[in-house]
């Protein structure tokens, strides 16, 4: 079946000894190791691999390098794989994309004949009115216009990232890049050079291009450069790797397979080459119309004959080189149409003429003649050019199956653009050229507008030398660069031949023709940025690689401007399509487990995440969650419970100025606090907003141990350090959160249980409420705090983290016969609500000041300063809302408000519920809410809008709530002070 | 990823840091209302060289960076002690009366 | 090293003890902990560790001091203190890792010798203190990441270039590892490249999972304390380093 396969030496990259079997659209296909999907299929005469985006025209490769969307295919679950560059593998199942009923008999091809009903901006115009019409049409249009299929049920892949470091990174492993890497690497044995090449092997244009009539130069340079690079120990060549962007300070994402290397370099050489550009003429998208470089890639890299009879259109020596390669591959070249005004004198043209090929000077291919169903080329019309974009009416028709064009190049300057480099258009060369480059970045080779092989290599050396110097490896003087630009790489200034009947494609991805862009400008989308978005030119998968140069020229002409005045649109990373999986990488989500974590799991706890921490939400799993919470609550109120509070933040504030520091950071008074006592702490920010709370335990005149909330402690620590970086008090603050595990044992029997484990005097006199001690409990050194959140007799024990599990075990064992049971976060929230305790960030928000929260009592009045004091004082007379306790009035019908349900007053939002729940202790629903300050009086009734229960299921209803004094339970605090 | 030269830890990815805003002087607590509101809510936000607080999270280290907001170039960084060498105290209540 | 009772019989337990137990650790008594001495053949483990291995060293003694004149006090106690982010071995094998102008972390050697740590603890008093003890023993867990391929492994988790020619022995990097704050100290065992990685003790299971995953590609193994001691060639040699 390999009808188009050539013999060696054609096919540098394939290994004929290793056949590979794969399928395309279900049919068995064969190729060799090293073949791309495109080359293997082409060898079997399968050229069409997709249907175009809008008109569903058959498409085959244009660039053979993935610079167009023509060759995007589906491989299993992977959509939009580039067939031009993806190597075949055994068993690979490849499918065409964007077809309906098969690639060959695509039912949607009728869209091609409806082209005149699909003008530029069609979707914007057709579905703009009436309102809502787009919603009806969208599914059908998306179905027709889709690219590939995403399997949302696909298995999760493994992707990861790895840092890499280099002194010099060279992007592009062609002659310029290899020369740059060698020069840089030669500066010192210590320099580290990373050379990044997109293709599976090094060589770049040396693997397919022809530089001389004999066709020997490329191989000679390749062997010498590749050999030298491989021999250099300090060059790491990453092949099959794409550098997808440039980020600040030379940070380069380099993707190879399922790994992204994050490469940090000191200097970068961009030797990324250039994209060949299409000649625009009628039917220039037919299968069999391709770039000269595409034909050379097929022949030289893969040993595949592009066709049998070809017409070549060219404006530079590259087209003649391609013609020679075609001839060498046994393709009959029917004609070379040279767009230039004069017959070229270079040796390549001479060699083509020597083969007896007719050369039509000042002429171009102006139309491709299509086979039935547009499935290929039948012939080419060649006509004389009579003006910019115009040809004579008379033309010659050549029978052929292949049309090859080489009319110019566009620098692959993506990384340069990402880095903020400029590439002004040179009217003399009709090319974007490298202008100013950012510090530490150098360009060499065809990306820099340089095509003759000797100059390319010299330029590469110079760039490598400069990059090495910038990386700190200066050596000798910079290599000189000749200024022979030669005739290679010439761009024709206007390779655009509009046809009255259209199908003269500028952008193949988006099926945009010359008149589409003209119309966009005519309709007012004249600016290049507007034209791009309205027409979607350059917005397809190839991101303007093949379309942008011509699009800018057309825009400039339509606006009567020069190309530089028309300007470029901004180019951003990524350079080429990348998988979301690669961006995500392996994913690192730090998780923190308390020392008692496994005990909670063994006890059947439902765990919840609090920031990075796992905490027991409730002990028990499944449906009867409320019952489990209520049982835990009852056990604390009536007996004794144990909760893991290890996630609580902890800070040591120590030094002669510790008291001073405390009084500046917190709102209350701490210098007068007695050693051996705890005190509530409330922190506000400079605007007076509550940011955290906890308790301060004074263990020594110069030592406070301060707790902070789980999520707040890092911020509290940072703030303390921030301020003391300015105040320079004699105080040291240390975050000891992770150093301590903690438990709170609470309930009427807590003293009895704890007494079994310690010699410390636990009597009410010996260790009163708000007392703190250091004591051994079950042989573990603990900080004992007689504090609690739940309003019962209780003790908090903070112990070394590595002893947390042992302490937990000891208490559970000691209290077993007293019915000690663990309780979870939900139970604790309920119990504290019964006591009216505020949870910062649940019952406060980003604007709550202590006055609103009813915490005036915690504000020092006489001190000149604490963080937030001035702002609180300024707001003292303008408190608009207050946090109040409320009970549900009878008649709510079991509808209990939830957190964030709105308080409604006079039909307006007047506040919000922050905490609410059913209290089994009190036998009623209670909560905290913000209400308007003038409606905060005890006994005031207000309305809360709750979910459900309205006339229609799911509709909101109002329930009445009454303001009551806090706390709800044990207002005398008799229980906790036992 | 930008590099921040940390005075303690050397050049590091900027993701290891958080910015603490412009370096500004805390006005005396009894300043007039406008001065206080300006200090709390308003940043100078100039186009040019600014002095900013930066915090290296892994070492809990605050330092000062001078940065040109027009180019995002970090011109220099130094320990906070170079700018804040003296102990700051607030007048005790009653000393003004 | 003699075999000893298991970790669950101790008051002090590394948060990794279940992970080690699941790998059939043979335990040894260190500093009140049961520490994994080996999992299989210690000599095999030492060989493996030349390539790549991780070890739970949480049991080893640690201490820290922090304050505005830490350096003055510690130097007065005879501590050999380097510049910030430099570690210096003391005569008894304790490594003094200076984390900042005013902060030092003390790590015992693999023989758990803690002479310097004990001496400083005995000398410190709160009265007139200019620096304060930091609870390093419990705040941190300690993982050894050992072997030639440790830098590549760490490069998947950490943005610092830890390759031997860029990160000299006894250098310290305080950075983010797998998005957790960590202290990374290069502390070669004999001629084998090694890192001491200290992380929040509550996050050590997460960090261990990240390291286990990252080292799989390079054939890394979990090893015990004995393997590291073998590489170091005994505490006396290290002490003289």
- What digits encode the pLDDT tens for the residues A226-259? 999 999 999 999 999 999 999 999 999 999 999 9
Q: Are A886 and A963 in contact (CB under 8 A)?
A: yes
Instruction: State how far Cα A268 lies from the chain centre.
Output: 23
Whether omega for the bond prior to residue A965 falls within 30 degrees of 0, making it cis, is: no
Comparing alpha-carbon positions, the chain B residue that sits nearest to C158 is: B13
Phi/psi at A332 (5° precision): -80, 125
Please tell me if residue B53 touches chain A, with a CB cutoff of 8 Å. yes
What are the pLDDT digits (tens) for C39-92?
Answer: 999 999 999 999 999 999 999 999 999 999 999 999 999 999 999 999 999 999
A-C contacts (CB, under 8 Å): 118
Domain segments of chain A: what residues? 1-148, 160-275+410-470, 278-407+491-500, 504-579, 836-964
Chains linked to B by 3 or more Cβ pairs within 8 Å = A, C
Rounded average pLDDT over C196-224: 97
Pick B84's closest partner by Cβ from A721, A726, A864: A726
User: Residue A955 — very low, low, confident or very high, per pLDDT cuts 50/70/90?
Assistant: low
Residue A403: strand pairing partners: A289, A311
Domain contains B93: no
Check CB contact under 8 Å for B29 and A865: yes
Q: Can you read off the two tokens belonging to residue A10?
A: 């054609």
User: Residue C236 — very low, low, confident or very high, per pLDDT cuts 50/70/90?
Assistant: very low
Burial class (CB in 10 A: 0-12, 13-18, 19+), A227: exposed
Interfacial residues of B (vs C; Cβ cutoff 8 Å): 8-10, 12-13, 15-16, 57-59, 61
What are the pLDDT digits (tens) for A818-844?
Answer: 999 999 999 999 999 999 999 999 999
Pairing of strands A332-338, A359-361: parallel
Task: Work out the number of other CB atoms within 10 angstroms of the CB of residue A442.
Answer: 26
Residue of B8, B93, B97 to mutate, interface with A, max A Cβ within 10 Å: B93
Check CB contact under 8 Å for B58 and C159: no
B-chain residues near A664 (CB < 8 A) = 90
Domain that holds residue B33: 3-82
**Whether pLDDT at A571 is above 90:** no
Check CB contact under 8 Å for C159 and B59: no
Task: Work out the number of other CB atoms within 10 angstroms of the CB of residue C69.
Answer: 16
CATH placement of domain C7-60+139-239:
3.30.1360.120
Task: Work out the number of other CB atoms within 10 angstroms of the CB of residue A571.
Answer: 17
Q: Are A804 and A741 in contact (CB under 8 A)?
A: yes
Residue A312: strand pairing partners: A336, A404
Tokens 């036998």 belong to which residue?
A: A923
Q: Report the run of H or E that residue A38 belongs to, with start and end.
A: helix A37-43
CA distance A352 to C96: 77
Check CB contact under 8 Å for A249 and B1: yes
Instruction: Note whether A160-275+410-470 and A278-407+491-500 share their fold.
Output: yes
Q: Report the run of H or E that residue A806 belongs to, with start and end.
A: helix A804-814
Domain segments of chain C: what residues? 7-60+139-239, 62-137
Check CB contact under 8 Å for A738 and C139: yes
Pick B9's closest partner by Cβ from C85, C181, C182: C85
Pick A801's closest partner by Cβ from C102, C138, C205: C138
What are the pLDDT digits (tens) for C98-135?
Answer: 999 999 999 999 999 999 999 999 999 999 999 999 99
Residue of A249, A585, A689, A713 to mutate, interface with B, max B Cβ within 10 Å: A249
Comparing alpha-carbon positions, the chain B residue that sits nearest to A734 is: B60
Comparing alpha-carbon positions, the chain A residue that sits nearest to C13 is: A802
Q: Are A209 and A320 in contact (CB under 8 A)?
A: no
Residue A706: strand pairing partners: A651, A696
At A334 the three-state DSSP class reads strand
Task: Work out the number of other CB atoms within 10 angstroms of the CB of residue A96.
Answer: 23
What are the pLDDT digits (tens) for A359-382?
Answer: 999 999 999 999 998 999 999 999
Residue A94: strand pairing partners: A24, A75
% of chain A exceeding 90 in pLDDT: 84
How close, in Å, is residue B44 to chain A by CA atoms?
Answer: 17
Q: Can you read off the two tokens belonging to residue A933?
A: 């300050």
**Tell me, what CATH number does B78's domain have?**
3.30.2270.10
B-chain residues near A717 (CB < 8 A) = 60
Per the rule left: phi > 0, alpha: psi between -120 and 50, beta: everything else, A503 is: left
CA distance A260 to A267: 20
Q: Can you read off the two tokens belonging to residue A226?
A: 């590749």
Q: Are A762 and A755 in contact (CB under 8 A)?
A: yes
What does the pLDDT read at residue C237? Answer: 39
B-chain residues near A249 (CB < 8 A) = 1-3
What are the pLDDT digits (tens) for A679-738?
Answer: 999 999 999 999 999 999 999 999 999 999 999 999 999 999 999 999 999 999 999 999
Check CB contact under 8 Å for A874 and B29: no
What are the distances in angstroms from CA C9 to CA A42, A267, A598, C126, C201? 71, 57, 15, 34, 20
Q: Can you read off the two tokens belonging to residue A462?
A: 């110079």
Q: Report the run of H or E that residue C78 belongs to, with start and end.
A: none
How close, in Å, is residue B9 to chain C by CA atoms?
Answer: 7
**Whether pLDDT at A559 is above 80:** yes
Pick C137's closest partner by Cβ from A161, A655, A800: A800
Residue of C9, C10, C11, C67 to mutate, interface with A, max A Cβ within 10 Å: C11
ipTM above 0.85, yes or no: yes
Buried b (16+ CB within 10 A) or exposed e, A238-247: beebbbbbbe
Residue C35: strand pairing partners: C28
Pick C155's closest partner by Cβ from A162, A646, A780: A162
Mean pLDDT for all residues in chain A: 93
Q: Are A311 and A398 in contact (CB under 8 A)?
A: yes
Q: Does domain C62-137 have CATH number 3.30.420?
A: no
CA distance A829 to A824: 9
Please tell me if residue B85 touches chain A, with a CB cutoff of 8 Å. yes
At A661 the three-state DSSP class reads helix
Please give the angle made by the CA atoms of A603, A606 and A610, to the nearest 5 degrees: 120
Superfamily of domain A278-407+491-500: FAD/NAD(P)-binding domain (3.50.50.60)
Rounded average pLDDT over C176-199: 97
What are the distances in angstroms from CA B79 to CA A479, A657, B8, B10, B17? 43, 22, 8, 12, 15
DSSP E strands in A584-710: the ranges are: 605-610, 613-619, 641-644, 649-654, 678-684, 690-700, 703-708
Residue A782: strand pairing partners: A775
User: Residue A485 — very low, low, confident or very high, per pLDDT cuts 50/70/90?
Assistant: confident
Check CB contact under 8 Å for A871 and B2: no
Check CB contact under 8 Å for A591 and C206: yes
Residue of C139, C163, C206 to mutate, interface with A, max A Cβ within 10 Å: C139
User: Residue A788 — very low, low, confident or very high, per pLDDT cuts 50/70/90?
Assistant: confident
Name every residue whose Cβ is closer than 8 Å to that of residue C158 and which is 6 or more positions away in sequence: A163, C173, C175, C176, C177, C178, C182, C184
CA distance A871 to A840: 19
What does the pLDDT read at residue A706? Answer: 98
CB-facing half-sphere around the CA of A167: CA atoms within 13 A: 27
Domain contains B34: yes
Q: How many domains does chain B have?
A: 1
Q: What is A1-148's CATH number, 2.10.109.10, 3.40.50.1240, 3.40.50.720, 3.10.20.440?
A: 3.10.20.440
CATH class of A160-275+410-470: alpha beta
CATH placement of domain A504-579:
1.10.10
Buried b (16+ CB within 10 A) or exposed e, A510-532: bbbbbbbbbbbbebebbbbeebb
CA distance A854 to C132: 37
How close, in Å, is residue A27 to chain C by CA atoms?
Answer: 36
CA distance C4 to C67: 39
Alpha-carbon Rg for chain C, nearest whole angstrom, is: 17
CA distance C59 to C61: 6
Buried b (16+ CB within 10 A) or exposed e, A182-201: bbbbbbbeebbbbbbbbbeb
Which 190-229 residues of chain C touch chain B by CB within 8 A?
none
Please tell me if residue A422 touches chain C, with a CB cutoff of 8 Å. no
Give just the sign of the alpha carbon dihedral A121, A126, A131, A136. negative
Check CB contact under 8 Å for B84 and A718: no
Q: Are A289 and A385 in contact (CB under 8 A)?
A: no
**Whether pLDDT at A950 is above 70:** no
Pick B20's closest partner by Cβ from A717, A722, A863: A722
Please tell me if residue B10 touches chain A, with a CB cutoff of 8 Å. no
**Whether pLDDT at C241 is above 70:** no
Range of lowest pLDDT (A4-13, A707-716, A955-964): A955-964
pTM: 0.93
Domain contains B65: yes
Per the rule left: phi > 0, alpha: psi between -120 and 50, beta: everything else, A543 is: left
Chains linked to A by 3 or more Cβ pairs within 8 Å = B, C
How close, in Å, is residue A939 to chain B by CA atoms?
Answer: 37
CATH placement of domain A836-964:
3.30.1360.120
The alpha-helical segments, DSSP class H, found in A44-152 are 110-113, 122-126, 133-145
Check CB contact under 8 Å for A655 and C138: no
What does the pLDDT read at residue A483? Answer: 74
Q: Can you read off the two tokens belonging to residue A563?
A: 């190309």
Q: Can you read off the two tokens belonging to residue A975?
A: 């229980």
Please tell me if residue A386 touches chain B, with a CB cutoff of 8 Å. no
């Amino acid at each position: 079946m390999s009808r188009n396969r050539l013999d060696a030496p054609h096919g540098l990259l394939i290994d004929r000894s290793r056949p590979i079997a794969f399928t395309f659209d279900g049919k068995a296909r064969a190729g060799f190791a090293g073949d791309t999907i495109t080359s293997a299929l082409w060898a079997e005469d399968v050229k069409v691999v997709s249907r175009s985006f809008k008109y569903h025209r058959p498409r085959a490769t244009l660039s053979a390098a993935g610079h167009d969307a023509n060759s995007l295919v589906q491989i299993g679950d992977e959509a939009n794989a580039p067939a031009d560059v993806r190597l075949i593998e055994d068993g690979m199942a490849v499918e065409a994309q964007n077809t309906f009923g098969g690639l060959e008999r695509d039912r949607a091809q009728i869209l091609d004949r409806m082209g005149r009903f699909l003008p530029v901006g069609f979707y914007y115009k057709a579905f703009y009115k009436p309102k809502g019409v787009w919603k009806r049409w969208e599914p059908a249009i998306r179905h027709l216009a889709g690219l590939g299929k995403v399997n949302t049920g696909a298995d999760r892949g493994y992707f990861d990232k790895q840092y890499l470091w280099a002194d010099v990174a060279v992007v592009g492993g062609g002659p310029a890049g290899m020369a740059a890497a060698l020069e840089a690497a030669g500066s010192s044995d210590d320099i580290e050079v990373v050379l990044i090449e997109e293709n599976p092997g090094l060589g770049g244009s040396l693997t397919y291009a022809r530089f001389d009539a004999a066709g020997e130069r490329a191989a000679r340079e390749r062997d010498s450069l590749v050999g030298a690079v491989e021999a250099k120990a300090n060059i790491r060549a990453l092949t099959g790797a794409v550098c997808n962007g440039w980020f600040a300070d030379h940070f380069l994402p380099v993707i190879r397979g399922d790994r992204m290397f994050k490469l940090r370099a000191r200097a970068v050489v961009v030797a990324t080459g250039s994209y060949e550009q299409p000649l625009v003429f009628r039917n220039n998208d037919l299968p069999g119309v391709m770039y000269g470089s595409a034909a050379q890639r097929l022949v030289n890299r893969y040993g595949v004959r592009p066709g049998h009879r070809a017409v070549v259109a060219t404006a530079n020596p590259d087209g003649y080189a391609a013609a020679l390669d075609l001839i060498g591959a046994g393709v009959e070249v029917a004609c070379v149409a040279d767009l230039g005004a004069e017959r070229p004198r270079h040796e390549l043209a001479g060699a083509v003429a020597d083969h007896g090929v007719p050369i039509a000077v000042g002429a171009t291919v102006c139309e491709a003649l299509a086979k039935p169903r547009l499935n290929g080329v039948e012939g080419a019309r060649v006509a004389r050019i009579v003006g910019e974009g115009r040809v004579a009416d008379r033309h010659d028709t050549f029978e052929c199956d292949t049309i090859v064009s080489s009319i110019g190049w566009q620098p692959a300057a993506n990384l340069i653009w990402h880095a903020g480099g400029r590439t002004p258009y040179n009217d003399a060369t009709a090319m974007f050229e490298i202008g100013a480059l950012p510090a530490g970045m150098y360009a060499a080779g065809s990306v820099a507008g340089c095509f003759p092989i000797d100059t390319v290599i010299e330029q590469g050396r110079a760039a490598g030398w400069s990059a090495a110097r910038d990386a700190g490896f200066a050596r000798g003087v910079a290599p000189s660069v000749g200024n022979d630009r030669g005739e290679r790489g010439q761009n024709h200034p206007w390779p655009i031949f509009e046809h009255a009947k259209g199908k003269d494609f500028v952008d193949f991805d988006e099926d945009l023709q010359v008149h589409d862009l003209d119309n966009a400008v005519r309709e007012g989308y004249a600016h290049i940025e507007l034209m791009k978005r309205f027409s979607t030119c350059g917005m397809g998968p190839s991101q303007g690689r093949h379309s942008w140069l011509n699009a800018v020229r057309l825009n400039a002409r339509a606006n009567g401007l020069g190309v530089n005045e028309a300007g470029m649109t901004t180019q951003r990373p990524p350079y080429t399509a990348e998988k979301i999986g690669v961006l995500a990488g392996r994913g690192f989500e730090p998780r923190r487990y308390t020392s008692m974590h496994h005990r909670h799991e063994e006890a059947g706890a439902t765990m919840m995440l609090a920031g990075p921490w796992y905490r027991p939400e409730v002990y028990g799993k499944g449906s009867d969650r409320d019952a489990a919470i209520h049982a835990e609550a009852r056990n604390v109120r009536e007996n004794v419970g144990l909760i893991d509070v290890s996630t609580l933040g902890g800070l040591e504030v120590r030094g002669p100025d510790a008291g001073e520091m405390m009084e500046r950071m917190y709102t209350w008074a701490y210098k007068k606090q007695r050693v051996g006592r705890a005190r509530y702490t409330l922190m506000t920010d400079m605007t007076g907003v509550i940011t955290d709370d906890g308790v301060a335990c004074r263990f020594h005149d110069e030592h406070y141990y301060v707790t902070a909330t789980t999520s707040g402690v890092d911020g509290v620590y940072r703030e303390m350090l921030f301020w003391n970086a300015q105040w320079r008090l004699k105080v040291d603050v240390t975050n000891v959160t992770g150093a301590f595990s903690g438990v709170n044992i609470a309930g009427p029997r807590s003293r009895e249980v704890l007494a079994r484990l310690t010699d410390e005097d636990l009597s009410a006199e010996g260790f009163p409420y708000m007392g703190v001690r250091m004591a051994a409990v079950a042989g573990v050194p603990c900080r004992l705090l007689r504090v609690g959140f739940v309003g019962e007799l209780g003790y908090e024990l903070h112990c070394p983290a590595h002893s947390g599990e042992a302490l937990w075990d000891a208490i559970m064992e000691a209290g077993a016969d007293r019915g000690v049971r663990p309780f979870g976060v939900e139970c604790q929230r309920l119990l504290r609500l019964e006591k009216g305790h505020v949870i910062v960030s649940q019952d406060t928000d980003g604007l709550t000041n202590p006055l609103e929260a009813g915490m005036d009592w915690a504000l020092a009045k006489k001190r000149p300063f604490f963080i937030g004091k001035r702002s609180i004082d300024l707001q003292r007379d303008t408190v608009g809302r207050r946090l109040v306790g409320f009970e549900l009035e009878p008649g709510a019908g079991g509808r209990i408000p939830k957190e964030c349900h709105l308080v409604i007053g006079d039909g307006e939002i007047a506040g919000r519920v922050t905490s609410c729940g059913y209290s089994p202790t009190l036998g009623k629903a209670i909560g905290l809410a913000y209400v308007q300050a003038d409606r905060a009086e005890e006994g005031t009734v207000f309305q809360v809008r709750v979910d459900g229960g309205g006339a229609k299921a799911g509709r909101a209803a109002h329930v009445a709530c009454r303001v009551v004094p806090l706390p709800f339970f044990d207002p005398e605090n008799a229980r906790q002070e036992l | 990823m930008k590099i921040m030269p940390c005075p303690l830890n050397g050049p590091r990815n900027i993701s290891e840091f958080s910015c603490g805003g412009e370096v500004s002087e805390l006005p005396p607590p009894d300043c007039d209302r406008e001065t206080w509101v300006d200090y709390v809510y308003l940043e100078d936000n100039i186009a040019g060289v600014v002095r900013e607080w930066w915090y290296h999270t892994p070492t809990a280290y605050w330092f000062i960076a001078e940065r040109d907001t027009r180019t995002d170039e970090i011109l220099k960084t130094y320990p906070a002690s170079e700018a804040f060498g003296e102990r700051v105290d607030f007048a005790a209540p009653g000393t003004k009366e | 090293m003699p075999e000893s009772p298991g970790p669950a019989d101790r008051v002090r337990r590394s948060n990794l003890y279940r992970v080690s137990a699941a790998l059939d650790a043979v335990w040894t008594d260190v500093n009140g902990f049961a520490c994994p001495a080996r999992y299989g053949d210690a000599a095999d483990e030492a060989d493996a560790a030349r390539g790549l291995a991780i070890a739970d060293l949480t049991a080893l003694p640690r201490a820290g001091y922090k304050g505005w004149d830490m350096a003055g006090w510690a130097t007065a106690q005879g501590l050999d203190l380097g510049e910030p982010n430099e570690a210096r071995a003391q005569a008894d094998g304790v490594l003094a890792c200076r984390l900042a102008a005013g902060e030092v972390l003390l790590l015992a050697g693999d023989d758990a010798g803690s002479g310097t740590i004990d001496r400083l603890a005995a000398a410190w008093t709160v009265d007139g203190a200019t620096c304060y003890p930091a609870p390093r023993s419990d705040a941190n867990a300690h993982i050894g990441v050992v072997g030639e391929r440790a830098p590549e492994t760490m490069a998947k988790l950490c943005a610092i270039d830890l390759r031997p020619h860029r990160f000299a022995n006894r250098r310290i990097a305080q950075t983010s590892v797998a998005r957790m704050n960590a202290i990374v100290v290069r502390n070669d065992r004999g001629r084998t490249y090694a890192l001491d990685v200290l992380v929040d003790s509550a996050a050590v299971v997460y960090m261990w999972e990240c390291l286990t995953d990252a080292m799989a590609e390079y054939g890394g193994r979990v090893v015990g304390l004995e393997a590291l001691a073998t590489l170091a060639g005994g505490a006396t040699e290290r002490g003289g380093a």
